[in-house]
Amino acid sequence: MAEYVISAEALERNARVLRETGQVGGAHMLVALKAYAGTAGMCCLKEYADGSCASGLYEAKLAAQHLGGHLSVYSPAYREEELEQLLEIAHHIDFNSISQWVRFAEVCLSHPRAQKGEVLFGLRVNPCYSTGHTPLYDPCAPRSRLGVTPEQLAQAAEHSLLRGISGLHIHTLCEQGAQDLIDTFRAFERTCGSLLAAPDIRYLNLGGGHWITRPEYDREALVRLLREVREHYKVEVYLEPGEAWCLRTGVLRTRVLDVFESLGYRHAIMDVSVSAHTPDVLEMPYRPDVFLVERSPIKAGEDGEKEPSVRLPGESYLLGGGAGEKEYTYRLGAPTCLAGDVLGDYSFSRPLEAGDVLVLDDMTHYTIVKTTHFNGVPHPDIVMLRSDGSLECVRRFSYEDYADRQG
């Protein structure tokens, strides 16, 4: 059976970095549940995070139950009944358009929690300044639906539509460094700086997409920006990364079901679907490192090249190379009907056999939250590797899970 294995220790390693960065910069560090919402992992993050960021009611409820602390919610559009429930539990509710804010302002501002100052309302701004490389992940791409433009914001202010707005929210990055955030903030400041400085504005949410836990990330530059924003504009600053909490914390372990040749290609069929169980490989696109598990020690010189994010005791790993780099190349594919349900071409220093275990690296964020039961391929289990080395299966999926989802 395939399984996602998530390391509690690795989650805490990232969490310590994020907590320290937030504390030194004087900013609130939230966990974005859209990247990872596993309750077993959230328990590991709880003591380090200042709270969470939710995309709607379901994430908000899960976050309130398992993470606690501050709860920020932003959605491109709220349903009326959803908003009523969010008003009971959220601390910030950020709106995507002036029209949604105008429609719901009365309901929001008259709510008892709003009157006591327990929930504040904000607007997401599209600073119209792109630093991203992939249009699919660029909220500032032309014709974006994500956020109010600086012109719309200025017009809304002129028409006194911003009464009750206490916060601004900019989310523009995806897997990016501190300089891109600084450049984006400067662009935002040029068009929206005077609004940010207005006494009614009490918070600025700088969204997610910050690769803070990568070794090359310039945390000092981020901290300087956070302090500057807080001191100059007198606002509380929030960051809501998702991926940064999860980087190098989990793997997907899959078994090889079959190996054969067709039309001059060697194929290996895994017991997972790329489309269903590692969807970002097709969507991003993202090419994970793949390791072949060896149960006996391997020849000197073959290991040590690179390690999977999560190692299990007694195992050694052979790193898969690109096509033709090592002696035996395979197209790693899924047991589904979709012709393109393929992880990619990988080469290994020994031939693959049915029963071999492959480890697909860095598979916590934007993976488990996106899985499906496409083709009825059994869903991988979710297993936590605890700090004492023990493995705990926190969720096993069954035929009933597949059948129930189909309605």
Ligand X SMILES: Cc1ncc(COP(=O)(O)O)c(C=O)c1O
Between 122 and 242, whose beta carbon lies closer to ligand X? 242
By the rule CB under 6 A, 277 interacts with ligand X? no
Applying the rule CB under 6 A, the residues between 99 and 138 that interact with ligand X are none
Q: Given candidates 74, 104, 129, 346, which one binds ligand X under the rule CB under 6 A?
A: 74
Q: Which two tokens stand for residue 190?
A: 């040029």
Which of 67, 318 has the CB closer to ligand X?
A: 67
Q: What are phi and psi of 247, to 5 degrees?
A: -55, 135
Residue 143 or residue 159: which is nearer to ligand X going by CB?
A: 143
Mapped onto helix, strand or coil, the DSSP state of residue 319 is: strand
Which amino acid would we find at residue 71?
L
Residues 5, 313: Cα–Cα separation, whole Å: 13
Q: Give me the residues paired with residue 270 across strands.
A: 256
H-run or E-run covering 58: helix 57-66
Please work out, in degrees rounded to the nearest 5, the angle formed at the alpha carbon of residue 133 by the alpha carbons of 341 and 176. Answer: 100
Shortest distance (Å) from residue 217 CB to ligand X = 12
Please give the helix or strand (H or E) that residue 120 lies within, else none: strand 120-124
Binding residue (CB under 6 A) for ligand X from 29, 83, 168, 174: 174
Question: Looking only at residues 286 through 325 of this chain, which bind ligand X when binding is defined by CB under 6 A?
Answer: none
Asked if 53 touches ligand X (CB under 6 A), the answer is yes
Question: Which CB sits closer to ligand X, 35 or 44?
Answer: 35
Rounded Cα distance, 85 and 175, in Å: 32
According to the binding rule CB under 6 A, does residue 242 interact with ligand X?
Answer: yes
Q: Count other Cβ atoms within 10 Å, centred on residue 360.
A: 27
The residue sitting closest to ligand X, measured at its beta carbon, is: 208
Nearer to ligand X, 243 or 289 (CB): 243
Q: In whole angstroms, give the CA distance from residue 243 to residue 241.
A: 6
For the CB of residue 184, give the shortest distance to ligand X in the complex, in Å: 14
Contact stretch for ligand X (CB under 6 A) within 17-25, 224-232, 237-245, 308-316: 237-245
What is the CB neighbour count within 10 angstroms for residue 39?
12
Residue 208 makes contact with ligand X by CB under 6 A: yes
Stretch that binds ligand X, among 6-14, 28-36, 263-271, 287-295 (CB under 6 A): 28-36
- Work out whether 209 is an interface residue with ligand X (CB under 6 A): yes
> By the 8 A CB rule, do 172 and 131 touch?
yes
Say how far apart CA 167 and CA 201 lie, in whole Å: 5
Question: What is the C-alpha to C-alpha distance for residues 374 and 337, in angstroms, rounded to an integer?
Answer: 10
Interacting residue with ligand X among 180, 240, 271, 341 (CB under 6 A): 240
> Could you tell me if 391 and 15 are in contact, meaning their C-beta atoms sit under 8 angstroms apart?
no
> Cβ of residue 207: shortest distance to ligand X, in angstroms?
5
List Cβ<8 Å contacts ≥24 apart for 153-157.
153/123, 153/125, 153/192, 153/195, 156/98, 157/195
CB of 73 to ligand X, least distance (A): 10
Segment near ligand X (CB under 6 A), from 10-18, 189-197, 205-213, 311-319?
A: 205-213
Residue 161 beta carbon to ligand X: minimum distance, rounded to whole angstroms: 22
Query: Closer to ligand X at the Cβ: 98 or 293?
Result: 98
Q: Which stretch binds ligand X (CB under 6 A): 16-24, 42-50, 203-211, 276-284?
A: 203-211
Give 150 or 241: the residue with its C-beta nearer to ligand X: 241
Question: Does residue 35 interact with ligand X by CB under 6 A?
Answer: yes
Maximum Cα–Cα distance for the chain, whole Å? 73
List residues binding ligand X (CB under 6 A).
32, 34-35, 53, 74, 171, 174, 207-209, 240-244
